[in-house]
Amino acid sequence: MTILQVANLRYGFAGGTLFRDVTFSLAAGERASLVAPNGAGKSTLLRCIMKEIEPEEGTVVIRKEAKIGYYRQSHEVKPIGDVLGAFLSGFGKIVALRDALEAAQHAAHDGAEESLNRLARLHDQWIIEGGDSLEHKVASIALQLGFSDADLARPVASLSGGERGRLSLGTILAQEPDFLLLDEPTNHLDLDTIGWLEGYLKGFKGAVLLVSHDRAFLDATTNHTFELGTRGLRSYPLAYSDYIEAREEDLAREEAMKERQDAFVAKTEDFIRRNIAGQKTKMAQGRRKMLEKLDRIDGPEDVWNKAERVAFRFVPAARSGDIVLEANGLAAARGGRPLFSGVDLLIRRGERIGIVGPNGAGKSTLLKLLAGRGHSEDLGAVKRGTNLQEGYFDQHLGEINTARTAVEEVRSVRGDFTPEKAREYLARFRFWGDDALRSTAGFSGGERSRLALAKMLLEPKNLLFLDEPTNHLDIPAAEILEEALVGFDGTVLLVSHDRRFLETVTTRLVIVRDGHVDIFPGGYADFVATKERQKAEAEARAAEERAALEKAKRKSLAPPSDKAKPTGNYEDNKAKSRDREKKQRRLKEVEQLVESGEAQLATLREDLKQDPGGDWAKVATMAKEEQALAARVEQLLEEWATLAEELA
């Protein structure tokens, strides 16, 4: 069933065309990625689909009854209410009922029968409408996105930017939409949460259109790839890695077609020039008319070609000592919560160490301690090696002064650069023309990341600290940075949740989790292979244990030999008799529990009618106890009726 149809969409600004002739459709079960370099218009196309902005031409049709979930990069969550309320915000009726229930609980403090009856009615309606089950579902999604039960009561205004991003994603998934548009959904997720989201999307029954620069995530979640260019959309029924290979073949074939046509045109034009005034003039005139009618082939549009012109080249630096860093007894806590303690780490020249773990575990904190940027209350010591030239990349891009232009930022590090020299240098990082003269306050996240890397590479470095360096980079820039780091002569410590980046770059891992820091003596690819092998071995052991238990069970249930075998009727009758006696005992127990429960209910209801003496919290507690006890008595009565019927 088709959910989305886009036909001949065109959008431009400032007299230019961002994209045109964009046509595609999506059906339920299709999960497509929209890929292109930064600035190509991916987010703009999503906004056109959502009709937040009007295209110059074309149409967008979404199935009328389809429920849409749209996750924006800006994750605009209103800073009002608590986290649970935000998760439920897509369910207007449930939210209204929840608010009414809370108001009724406060009103029930007066102890009036009418107030208590209203509280009971609203509570029953809450159960009937599925509010309770919805809260459980939302709590499960929240937990997978890194929110604890205690976090559900936190004010939204107290959340960090990353937490608001995860909250926004959770509010969308909780609504169970038919069509998901996700713009960079993994930007604020750790490796564990990305893995959970991959599983969620694989099982999603609706249609998905997502934008992401995480290549491993694209491979794991999508079965279609749409490449956005200025001339239109290339569509491939393939995951990202397979699309990369297929597009290379297409570009080569299209280039060959263009070359063949150009050669034919050149040959024909040469014939016309030589014969237009000679004996073969009619033939020349005929060929001229043919050329005029010829449908000229444009050269293939390679959208990645321009993006690949980034040059992350390291300035040659002095050789550091063999021992770069020696950390002993590192410990840190933030907000009164211990992150890690007793961390010992020896780092040698040439190592590329990846620091991984869940959000909030302390990865960036550990990186800062190793870089000498920790808090004064942090514990432990870091002995630095000889001849170090250090560089630090901050994931929050705090090194960028938004009051300056890109040229001024470069010259703040290299005062010997003329403005022309600075612009020439910035062109290596895809800042062309007047881009270098723009204020950095108006830069996108990707532009700021490239500028921060450009500043860091202006001076010789032999020790790099990189905190989420690929977060805002597009795929070509991330791949070029990978190549540069693999060929880097110095030492690298980095924090990242980009699995393909970690696989390519790292030689050793530091895993920060649950207050512990473990060292893995291999890169991320080795780590994943080891985890998969351990999982397979554990599953094999579990299967063997289940088989052994099943064998023992079958042996214990095997019939005795013919000599000692009692008659079947005797055993059956004996089992039935035991079962009946058991039910009769339970029936008596239930009768006693019902009597006791009804007596307690009568007492509670009488107490609720009394003057509370101003203790309204006690009244609210008693009202909740009354509701829970009434429900329990109802369950017991149902059980009593079932047992009585079976015994009859």
Domain ranges of the chain: 1-77+161-237, 83-158, 244-307, 323-400+443-522, 579-647
Position 616 scores a pLDDT of: 54
Residues 6+ apart with CB under 8 A from 57: 8, 9, 10, 20
Q: How far is it, in rounded angstroms, from Cα 121 to Cα 60?
A: 45
Using alpha carbons, select from 623, 635, 639 the residue that is nearest to residue 121.
623
- Are 182 and 71 in contact, with CB atoms under 8 Å apart? yes
Q: Give burial (CB, 10 Å; 0-12/13-18/19+) of 518.
A: exposed
Using alpha carbons, select from 521, 501, 190, 517 the residue that is nearest to residue 369.
517
pLDDT digits (tens, 9 = 90+) for 298-356: 888 998 887 767 778 888 899 999 999 999 999 999 888 899 999 999 999 999 999 99
- Are 213 and 475 in contact, with CB atoms under 8 Å apart? yes
For domain 323-400+443-522, the CATH class is alpha beta
Residues 6+ apart with CB under 8 A from 17: 10, 11, 230
Query: Scanning the structure block, which residue is given the tokens 């009769």?
Result: 584
Angle, alpha carbons 159-473-33 (nearest 5°): 85
Q: What is the 3-state secondary structure (H, E, C) of 449-464?
A: HHHHHHHHCCCCCCEE
Query: Scanning the structure block, which residue is given the tokens 């010789």?
Result: 460
Decide if domain 1-77+161-237 falls under CATH 3.40.50.300: yes
Both tokens of 529, joined, read 């292979």
Using alpha carbons, select from 169, 191, 155 the residue that is nearest to residue 80.
155
Q: How far is it, in rounded angstroms, from Cα 538 to Cα 29?
A: 33
Instruction: Report the C-alpha dihedral over residues 187, 192, 193, 197, rounded to 10 degrees.
Output: 100
Q: How many CB atoms lie within 10 A of CB 505?
A: 26
Q: How far is it, in rounded angstroms, from Cα 468 to Cα 501?
A: 10
**Same fold yes or no, 1-77+161-237 and 323-400+443-522:** yes
Query: Scanning the structure block, which residue is given the tokens 């290979």?
Result: 245
Both tokens of 175, joined, read 């609504």
**Is the four-CA dihedral 205, 207, 211, 213 of positive or negative sign?**
positive
DSSP 565: P
Q: What are phi and psi of 594, to 5 degrees?
A: -65, -45
Q: Which amino acid is at 98?
A: R
Q: Which amino acid is at 251?
A: L
Strand partners, 235: 226
Both tokens of 268, joined, read 């024909």
Residue ranges, the chain, pLDDT below 70: 14-15, 74-76, 92, 130, 308, 553, 556-572, 574, 608-621
Determine the 3-state secondary structure of 577 from DSSP: helix
Helix axis angle, 616-647 relative to 113-128, nearest 10°?
Answer: 60
- Are 179 and 207 in contact, with CB atoms under 8 Å apart? yes
**Is the four-CA dihedral 99, 104, 106, 107 of positive or negative sign?**
positive
Query: Scanning the structure block, which residue is given the tokens 């240098």?
Result: 425
Q: How far is it, in rounded angstroms, from Cα 309 to Cα 252?
A: 20
Position 245 scores a pLDDT of: 94
Using alpha carbons, select from 466, 469, 185, 183 the residue that is nearest to residue 310.
469
Position 568 scores a pLDDT of: 52
Q: How far is it, in rounded angstroms, from Cα 597 to Cα 470?
A: 62
Q: How far is it, in rounded angstroms, from Cα 340 to Cα 365?
A: 10
Q: How many CB atoms lie within 10 A of CB 97?
A: 18
Buried b (16+ CB within 10 A) or exposed e, 238-251: bbbeebbeebeeeb
Q: In what order do the strands lie in the sheet with 491-495?
A: 390-393, 463-467, 491-495, 352-356, 508-513, 516-520
pLDDT digits (tens, 9 = 90+) for 555-609: 766 665 554 445 556 666 767 777 788 888 888 888 888 888 888 888 877 776 6
Pairing of strands 16-27, 2-13: antiparallel
Using alpha carbons, select from 288, 289, 374, 299 the residue that is nearest to residue 331.
374
Strand partners, 155: 82
Residues 6+ apart with CB under 8 A from 172: 69, 70, 71, 90, 180
Ordered alpha helix ranges (H), 463-567? 475-486, 499-505, 524-557
Q: How far is it, in rounded angstroms, from Cα 478 to Cα 251?
A: 22
* Dihedral class, residue 67 (left if φ above 0, else alpha if ψ from -120 to 50, else beta): beta
DSSP 81: S
Residues in the chain: 648
